[in-house]
Every structure is written in structure tokens, then in C-alpha cells.
A and B are shown apart, each in its own frame.
Chain A
Amino acid sequence: MLEMKGITKRFPGVLASDDVSFDVYPGEVHTLLGENGAGKSTLMKILYGLYEADEGEVLLNGEPLDIHEPTDAIEHGIGMIHQHFMLVPTLTVAENVALGLRSSKGVRTDLDVVSARILELSEIYGLKVDPNAFIWQMAVGEQQRVEIIKALYRDAQLLILDEPTAVLTPQEVDQLFVTLRQLRDDGRGLIFISHKLHEVLALSTRITVLRHGRVTGSVSAEGATRESLAQMMVGRAVKLAPDKTEAHPTDVKLAIKDLRVLRDRGEEGVRGVDLEVRAGEIVGVAGVSGNGQMLLAEAIAGLRTPSEGSIRIAGTEVVGMNPKEVRGTGLSYVPEKRMKDGAISEFTVSENLLLIDHNESEYLNHGLYDFGTINEHCQQLVEEYTVKTPTLDTPARNLSGGNIQKMIIARELSGTPEVLVAAQPTRGVDIGAAEYIHKRLIEQRDESTAILMISEDLDEVFGVSDRVAVMYEGEIMGIVDPKTATREEVGLMMAGVGREQTGG
């Protein structure tokens, strides 16, 4: 139904789309796969009329399509679920759906008519929403359902989904896939964008891989493997599961006892956690986001004061210390909200890389900074972690999100701390860099750092951890051995079905 031929799009200094051809048949899911910055969103924004292509043509059902505005795309039955939701938070669901449509009541809005149709669509496709709820009151999963309904309301036959799973919990992803398969079976064409390999394999009919704006391969999903896709994405063979030797844990370095932490709104988010991490082991904390993992990490780092309990780092009680003092006891911390808590966007790359260690004697020469040593050190980090930056003096705000993440991770993993807390260490970074980060985590473990890794990615939890603690509603449901536990078992614990309960 859709054909894009020879699409080329240049941004100042970047060739975002380089002679790309892409097509979709009715009743299939055609996936666009590629690392961050590969040009997936750009290609789709061209199709949707948000950008104009410099070269190339688009055919819909065999006829040339002239699209300059999103409304042109909507008129031709193209709907797009954007990576960053296009919703107005202060409006209701019905108002968001009605935006831009002609009202059946003249100048007045016809929200009752719109709401009725929303409920119909929601019934047919299992997209549960309340038409009268305000967007700001809703969880991201619900917001996404609104986005899909918005497109279906306009009777989109070709549906573009730009990284729809990035913000969802595993359960929500399953739900979404049920809906998407139903839409596919209706005979609609779906373009699915992702960089999560197992999702891509689970949903797609065909897969096209982009790298640096070019198509590096287009395959049928049958017969494709995670390894073969990763190779097309990165351009070389990639190890998806890190090599790992047996851990040799020694002394307890991080000891958490009966920890209770309050959320911003005052209710208890961490409800009595006991956890020990020994030197030389990686303890993974699995759980659906919002179950207290982030509060736990913030409490350890001194960013949030616990209401009760104790946290000892290398024997020192750190509850009540400020973040700098906590770092002084030997903690390194990779925050989940890296943009907010991890980097200063006005500072340059090398300043950011040095934020923590800037008083270390190796960088000082008679009290002044020794820029020779500093640059050498920073250059090495930038290369190891493949941080893409024009120069070391580029302000961090000019880097793409994935590269800012890599910069922060490079800084936090560069020393040999007593304890490392890493929250979602590879979220938003590309596969090549993720591979390197995993390798570094394991190397640090072998240099006898005690590592607490918080992750929602079960592949990562199983691949990297030596023990896995599962958190649910602020409590540890249980600790399992990743070598013997199954994903189903951990998945159930993440949903609150505890081992203890099932075992009696």
C-alpha cells in the first residue's frame, strides 16, 4: 500500500536519510530497526508531513503522494504515534481526540459524540480509556492508548508507531502487541519502530534495518535471529550475552537494613527493604518501574532521606549524609534520570567527565588543573565508551541523549569504587555501547566492587547479575539465582506473586 523510494534528507552536518527505500503491504507489520540516531524517526516524519524530503518520492496505493502537512497525511489515512506523545496534558481524552476535527455541532464542540465513538473503539480494540479523564492524570501506558485511539478515530489505514514500547512495562507491551496484531489482521499496514530485538522478532512480518541513515538490510522476520539483526544494526558481530566468570563475593560492602523511604507525595514507596551486596558480586534489582527501585537508589546515594532504617557503605552509616559525603565513603552512582541528576548541560564534555574527581591530585599541578593529563584521560573515556562528540569542549547539551548517557556512565565507571549503584545503566544507549557497559560492570565486579544494578530489562538482569532481587510495591519479593531461575518465575514475582506465598 505504501512505497517510499530513494528518500534523502539532510540536516546541517548530518545525512539523516540516505537514499532509503521502504514499503508496506496491508496486513503486515514492517519494522524499522536501528540504533538511536539511525534516522528512523526522520524517515517517518517525512512520511507524516512534519519534514520535507530533499529527494525521493512517496507512493500510496500506486499513486504519487504529495504530503506537506500532517493534515495531508491524516487525509490519506496515515496515522502516527509519536515517540514523544503529541497530547495536550490539560485537555481531556475526548478533547485530545476531537482536536483538529470538524464538530457536528457547528462552533460548539461535540464531545459527547466523540466520547461515544471513543468507547466503541476502546471496546473493539481492547484499549481501555476514560474519555473524560485529563491526560495529566494518566500513566504513560494509558496515554499511549489515547494516541492509538486518536489515529483509529481518523480511520488510519497505515499506522506508524515510533518506539511505542520504550515507555511501557512488560505487561503493557504484551497488551499493546495484542492490539497491534488485531489491527494487522484488520488489514491495516503497521510500521513499528524499535531497537529492542526480542520485541521486533515477536511482532514483525518484515524487518528493515537502518544505520547512519542507510538501509543495511531488509529481511523477513522468519529466520532472523537477534544476533543477525544486531550485526546489521551495529555493523559488526555483537555479543548479546556478556562473557562472565563465576563471582567470588567476599565482604559485605553495602548493607541495607529495614529501609523505608517516602515518595514526594508522602506515601511509603520503599517498605522495609533488607539487602546486602558483597564485594565482587553484582546484585540485580528487577521490577516494573515505579515499584520503589528508584527511591531505593536515591536513598543510597543520599539524594533522598529515608524515613527509617540504615544503609552502610563499607561499614559507614550513610543515612543523613549529603550526596557528596556519601560519595566520600566510596560510592559511585549512575542515576536513572541522567539528564537531570547526572550531567550539567552547560558544561563541556570534559568538565562533565571530571565533575566528581576534579579535586584529585592526579589532575592538579601546584593547585592548578593539569589540562594535558585531563584531556588525555577524557579522550580515553570518550573513545572507550564511543561517546560521539565533535570535541571535548563541546557543551553537553549539544550531544544526543544516548551520548550524554554514555558520558555519565563513562565517568561513573572509570574509577574503582567500593560500591556502585547503577540504575538502568543501558537504557537509551545503543547495542554496541551496551555491550561495552556490561563488560565494564563485570570487570569492576572482578576488581571487587560491590555492584547494585537496577534494571527493567530482564535480558540485562539475567545476563549480568550474580543474584537477582525482585521488587514489588516497595518490598523485595525474593532473591533468586539467575542461573537457575526462569523468566516466568521472575515475571510473576514482578507482578507481586511471591515465592514465599506460592511455596506456603
Chain B
Amino acid sequence: MSELFTQAAIVAVVAGGIRLAVPLLVASLGETFGQRSGVLNLGVDGIMLLGAFGGYYAVLQSGSPWLGLLVGIGIGFIMGLVSALMAVTLKAEQGISGIGVYLFGLGFSDLLFQKWVGTPRPIPKFPKLDIPGLSDIPWLGEMFFQHSVVIYLAFAAIPLSMWIINKTTFGMNIRAVGENPEAADSLGVSVSRVRWSTVTIGGTLAGIAGAILAIDLGIFQQNITNAQGFIAIALVYFGAWRPLGIMLGALLYGLVNALVLQMKVLEIIPPDWSDIAAMTPAIITILALVVVATRFSPPSALTKPFTRGA
């Protein structure tokens, strides 16, 4: 077990944890916007899968990871609009329509992969950016300041989300619409416009999360997200609908995952246990969820479609 406490192992766990947390963090932040406005989008995982395949395929064709990210954004945006149409305008049962989007994403991303790619081929990853000065600090430099560019961008999205939700008129409208849509409506805030925007933001971020996941791994395979989209939804509850809480949850999940990986590499976990070990991150997340989630309550109007005068 002592080999786990060497510098190399510890640095690898922390740096790996941060990397693994990012797709989850991005998808969760997106879902937060929807949920704060009262819409539960269960289709995150499906959108992530489509974004992952689209991103992967674009990089495969063009060689540019940035073009892949752009395609992920586009796919997420479109799927966000589709989700908003179903949940907000058509007032579909949010659980069911989300599962529909998930199943579509799961099947369609694999279908296109089989048809257009067939055997997995690696693609170029995002460029790394060593932050000048900071990256040379022993231990910390390698843990925090030698990541690829998108990882810094993803963490920059946290304060940005906090600012949008808490300090802007749009954010105030989101919070109002999620708690008491009647009140917001009576003051001329368009409930459907706010919800269309937030669900589209959520879809776009899910698409980005998927693209980052595939491009960061440099590969695509069937069901590459492994239900991370659902963990992302759980993290929104875990984080009590607040960006900082979500960051903590995503990091916890990433670190536990990285730790399990490292223990496999070092053969601390016997190979025939590896399936069980693979479940630990999910189990720890769920346990934390149970402890935390009971203390905060979700937006009052979550999952409730709005109709004036009803």
C-alpha cells in the first residue's frame, strides 16, 4: 500500500481526478441552469454521447480538436432546443422525454460510429498549457497547472455561472421562474423564454462535456460516457443547485475515480476485484448524495410545466 503515497502516485491521482471531473462538471453546470428554472432534463447523457461522437468524428476528419469542440457545441445546442421544445412548449412529462433523448443519443451515436468509423482510431487531443511560473512549483505545479486548455476553461465556467445566476437579471429571472413561475409571469417575466434559454444552455454544455470527454481520451467507443450524464444530474442535487457545491461533487467523483485507477495500476486492488472497484465512485457519490441532498430542497417548480391561470 505504501507505493500509493509516493509523490508520483499522489500527483497522478490529483491531476487525474481533476481531468476526470471536467466533463461531469461541465454537464452538471448546464443541468443546474435548467433545474434552477424548474426543468429537469434527464437526457444529459444522450446529449453527451452525441456530442462525444460528433466531436470525435470532427477531429478525426479535420485533425483539429477545436473544430471538434465546436461541433460538440453545435450538437448540444440543437439537442438543447429539442429538449426545450418537448419540456417547455409541449409540456411533456420531463422524466419520460429525457429518457427518450438519452436512448436516442445512446443508439444514434453508436450507429453513426459503426457506419462512419467502424474500428476506433485515435485522434489528437487538446493542447496542454503549462501556466508560466506556477507549473514549476513542485507537487502543485504538476497537479494543477499542467493541464490542457479546456480544463482551465471549464473551471473558469464556475465563477461565470455563479455570476450569471446571482448577479444578473437573467439569473434572477431563472431563480424566480424555478420557485414561483406564477409570480414571475404576473410581472411580465416570460416563463417559457427563460426555460427555453436555460434548457438550451444545459444542452449546449452537455454537448461540450461529451466532446471534451472523447477528445481528452482521444478515442470514441459505444456508451463512452458510462452514465456520467446521470451522475451529472445527481451532482446537481449533491451540489444543492449551486456551482461551488457542484464543483466539489465533481472533484470528489473525479478523485475517487482516479484513486481507484491508480490502485489498479499499482495492483493494490486484485484484478478480479476490478469490477467491484469500478463501482465505488458511483457508490460514494450516491452515499454523499443521500447525506447532503436531504438538507437542501430543490426549486419548488422543478419538473412542473407552467400554464397561466391553471
Contacts and interface: CB of A to CB of B under 8 A. Distances in A.
A40 to B, nearest CB: 16
Given A86-B180, A109-B168, A70 B175 contact: no
Interface string A39-65: 000000100101100000000000000
Q: How large is the interface on A (under 10, 10 to 19, 20 to 34, 35 or more residues)?
A: 20 to 34
Contact of A90 (B175, B185, B308): B175
Contacts of B183: 85-88, 96, 99
Contacts of B167: 108-109
Contacts of B173: 99
A103 interface: yes
B205 to A, nearest CB: 19
Contact of B186 (A51, A82, A107, A109): A82
B169 A86 contact: no
Contact of B180 (A70, A88, A107): A88
A151 to B, nearest CB: 10
Given A74-B188, A100-B184, A108-B169, A90 B309 contact: no
Contact of B187 (A50, A100, A107): A100
B182 to A, nearest CB: 6
In this complex, the member of B169, B184, B300 whose beta carbon has the largest number of chain A beta carbons within 10 angstroms is B169
A50 B186 contact: yes
Interface string B184-196: 1111110000000
A99 B309 contact: no
B179 A107 contact: no
Interface residues of B, number: 22
Contacts of B308: 50
B187 A108 contact: no
A240 to B, nearest CB: 35
Interface string B284-310: 000000000000000010000000110
Given A108-B169, A109-B172, A88 B184 contact: yes
Contacts, number: 72
Contacts of A74: 187-188
A107 B170 CA distance: 7
A88 B170 contact: no
B106 interface: no
B192 to A, nearest CB: 13
| Interface residues of A, dominant DSSP | loop
B176 interface: yes
Given A90-B175, A99-B187, A109 B309 contact: no
B187 A51 contact: no
B175 A107 contact: no
A310 interface: no
Contact of B172 (A86, A89, A98): A98
A101 B172 CA distance: 11
A50 to B, nearest CB: 6
A131 to B, nearest CB: 14
A99 B168 contact: no
A281 interface: no
Nearest to B168: A107
Interface in B256-310: 300, 308-309
B180 A87 contact: yes
Interface string B180-219: 1011111111000000000000000000000000000000
A91 B187 CA distance: 14
Given A86-B180, A88-B175, A99-B189, 9 more contacts: A48-B186, A69-B188, A86-B187, A88-B183, A88-B184, A89-B179, A95-B175, A99-B183, A100-B187
14 contacts: A50-B186, A70-B187, A71-B187, A74-B187, A82-B186, A85-B183, A86-B180, A90-B175, A90-B179, A95-B172, A95-B176, A99-B183, A107-B170, A109-B168
